[in-house]
Each structure stands twice: as C-alpha cells, then as structure tokens.
Amino acid sequence: MTSRSDGNGRSLETNEAATYTLMMRDLAEHDRPRERLLKVGERAVSTAELLAIILRSGVPGENVLRLAERLLNTFKDLSGLARASITELTAVKGVGPAKAVEIKAALEIGRRLLTTAPEEKPRITSPADAANLLMSEMSFLEKEHLRLILLDTRNRVLATPTIYIGSLNTSVIRLGELFRAAIKENAAAFIVAHNHPSGDPSPSPEDVAVTRQLVQAGSLLNIDVLDHIVIGHNRFVSMKERGLGFS
C-alpha cells in the first residue's frame, strides 16, 4: 500500500497507526476493535466496535471504544445516530466535523446497500418479511412515508415505490394513486407500509380507516391488499394480524 504525505513529510498511514495505538493503549490487544474484527470477523463484533473503527481515535482520558459507546447512548441506538444531523453529532465531545462526516457517510452506504435490489427477487411469506424489507430504511425517516410492496402471483417483490410523504389521512390519500402504481407494475397484490416518526407503531384510527377503504377498493379491482404494516423504531405492527381494517 502506498503511503500519503500530510505535507510535512510525514506518512499519513504512519500517523493514523500511531494515533490508533495511542488511543488503544489502555485496552488489551484482544479487546481492540480492529484486532477483534480481524480475528472473529465483522459479524461477531459489536456495533460500538464497528463505530470505533470508523472513529479511529477518542479524546484525552477516553479511548475510542468508550467514545463510540457514548455516541450510541446519546442518540439511543443506531437508528437515532443515523437520524442525527452533522450539527448534532459535532455537539458531542470528541466528534469534530471530519468524524461526523465519516459517520454519516458510513451509515449512508449501509442504507443504500439495503435499498439495492438483489438479483433474486425477495419473496414475502409473512408480515415480518414485509417489515424487514423496509424497516431499516423507514425507521430513519423524520416524516411519514407511505410505500407499497408490489407483488407478483408468487408473492415475489416487483417494486417498493413511495406514494406519499407527509401526514397520512383519508382526506389526503387518493386510493387511485396506490392502485395506479400496482397496475403499472402488473402486480397481483400489494402490501401497504408506512412509518410513525414517533417510533410507536400503534395504528391510529386514520390508519384503520385508510386500510378499510383500500381493502374494499382492492376487492372491486381484483388486486389483493394483503396487509398494512406500520413501522416504528425497530418495531412494527401488522394490521392484518390485528384484524384492523380487514374483515
């Protein structure tokens, strides 16, 4: 690997290694995030350890792993960290603009990976399948989004378009927009999904009313509305399972 200079003749790779060693000196070698990942693999290390590897250095009196844990505690969890702005991140002691940008970049890469359509179309066989398809992305949203999971006759996913953004109620939602998207993709059925930015996925009376109207319209158009999933912070509710809006 070729080293880069910082303009003063010093190797940036050498500087980064020295900084890492300095901030990790109070951790046993087998507890250091980079070494742990190399030994056990990325799936076996904690979220705090992965974040520590991105941060690279802590602050005086606090190693980088403690800084990572403090960040996760400050923003409650990883989804809270993803929703935080650059300004909010830099308000945390030990996180400057460069670290904040690196955190946002890493989380955005992860989000984009989740939204990349795989070569093999996923198949929906349960409410959990539907929720897991969208939860990681929709849990981060600060406004309500309504999306469809459009399915073929074998319940394979054709597309997951966003239909509405903003507060959802019966006076705003036009049922034709949802069914137009289904007809465009030649979908045999669809699942409705929307998020509650509050984090509580409990369906509202408006959610029930919208669902009831959709189910009735679907029976007339011969397009099955299989479920309505409400997504909160790492939680979801299947309205079909609860019998809300479905007869």
Domains, the chain, ordered by start: 12-115 (1.10.150), 127-238 (3.40.140.10)
For residues 171-195, average pLDDT: 88
pTM (two decimals): 0.55
Q: Is 173 exposed, middle or buried (0-12, 13-18, 19+ CB in 10 A)?
A: buried
For residues 64-73, average pLDDT: 89
* Whether 187 contacts 223, CB under 8 Å: yes
Please count the other Cβ atoms lying within 10 Å of the Cβ belonging to residue 130: 28
Q: What pLDDT was estimated at residue 33?
A: 86
The secondary structure of residue 242, as a DSSP letter, is T
**Tens digits of per-residue pLDDT, 191-243?**
999 999 988 999 999 899 999 999 999 999 999 999 999 999 878 999 999 99
Specify which residues 35 forms β-bridges with: none
Measure the CA–CA gap between 31 and 152, rounded to whole angstroms: 48
Measure the CA–CA gap between 35 and 106, rounded to whole angstroms: 20
Q: How far is CA 136 from the centre of its chain?
A: 3
Q: How far is CA 140 from the centre of its chain?
A: 6
Helix extents (H) in 3-152: 12-23, 33-40, 47-55, 64-74, 78-83, 86-90, 97-115, 127-138
* Whether 228 contacts 207, CB under 8 Å: yes
Per the document, the length of the chain is: 247
Kindly write down the DSSP assignment for every residue of 175-223, as one continuous string.
HHHHHHHHHHTT-SEEEEEEE-TTS--PPPHHHHHHHHHHHHHHHHHT-
Question: 159: part of which helix (H) or strand (E)?
Answer: strand 157-159
Please count the other Cβ atoms lying within 10 Å of the Cβ belonging to residue 160: 20
Q: What pLDDT was estimated at residue 218?
A: 93
- Alpha carbon distances (Å) from 28 to 5, 99, 194: 30, 24, 45
Q: Per-residue confidence at 1, pLDDT binned at 50, 70, 90? A: very low
**Tens digits of per-residue pLDDT, 110-162?**
877 766 655 567 889 999 999 988 887 788 788 899 999 999 999 999 999 98
Q: Is the pLDDT of residue 94 over 80?
A: yes
Per the rule left: phi > 0, alpha: psi between -120 and 50, beta: everything else, 92 is beta
Q: What pLDDT was estimated at residue 127?
A: 92
